[in-house]
Structure 1
């Protein structure tokens, strides 16, 4: 009997040792299997920055609602004279954090009140609203509806999310908003891939052309939206029209890759800038 227990104990130690030595390979194998059935994570990143993080004081940022809260998004006080620009560069390395993959600097406009349709917040009803229609509506930092103003924001959450709820903290109703960012590339990329997730209903435009509109049973996960879009050399304007019935759970993610799924990430700021 003791020999049997000893045998199982030694087998356990052996398996534990194998898993410890090859845990990354084993985890990647199962992740690939899960992605194949559309259940796994579609983003592989280095999470070493989340391990043994130095203890620090949580930053406080004053949001658009005038209330101090934990830093999830930074709202700039300066008047918007130009939309934020992110220069995208190809980066095949795995030594990057999740946040570095996403566009985190945006100009936002809203919230547009949708409380009159809050009891009938169906896909078609929302998309028929003027602020959510299929018209690109040439956006400009200077041409805005009365009583509205563009604000420049930067997402601070480590997963790259833009938390709209934090931007419009005073809003308690069903509402819509617009988010605009310009992305620059050094050459034409005719088959770039836009990956996003929007909570709850959205339209996405690239250079004035609609490339995505929400549909029933849309995958509720990061990168649930995947569309091929052409990016021209120079600046490309991204417009997201986003509506949500739940003002406390309102956010989006957006990033790009090339056709081979190599991330196109915002270039880090140059020293002194």
Structure 2
């Protein structure tokens, strides 16, 4: 694949992920159990990919790569999204999208110390700092130190921890030399991680009842689809020899832009203000500047 195709795929994956914040908040309107909700989403997402890989020897792949697949399944889907869904109960969709925008900085720092071929450059450093400045401005616009802001601060802390975990998983996938079909890896890790979440949900949240309105099922189906599509694309890009982990994750700066914008448009009681608009503009400039400096 050429560089343009890789960039377009990365942008499309980030767009899909940016819609998740709206989908989760809509789903929470009808079902507020984070572990069961996440478990349903990812188990369904993994199952949706099975028709694309029915010719693969799934049990042999799982047996030969058991340790690696279980690590990805539990770290990224099981534990990672347990944290993410718990955080989403405490923060607005727009705020969550903005905080997740810190993941490129976290991944770049982790890559600098954990990968030999992905050191911090001046251009990368300047782009990351300016992008983080934009995120800080948007965060300040939410009045984080108000009484109601304490729960939001808890949610933000959980989201940042999730970003650290996600960065470690990305590096683990990049360093792994075993050749596994990205769609196979996506399907297996989401099914295993989703089942893990459902087990945890059964223990801590009780039995799932399926008497939900149609809007909930629409949001659930969309969340499952975007997970299946976006994670498969991302795994494929991570396995490409021409892509560095930190540079690929630079595109994740699009997630807070698109996620916040969609939340402000679709979700009630979520509206932009001056600081949030300025912050979004700074983030966009940092991403464009980084790619121009690289050229």
- Superposition TM-score, scaled by structure 1 size: 0.23
**Structure richer in helix, relative to its length:** 2
- Bigger Rg over Cα: 1
Q: TM (normalized to structure 2)?
A: 0.22
Q: Which has the higher contact order (CA 8 A, sep 6+)?
A: 2
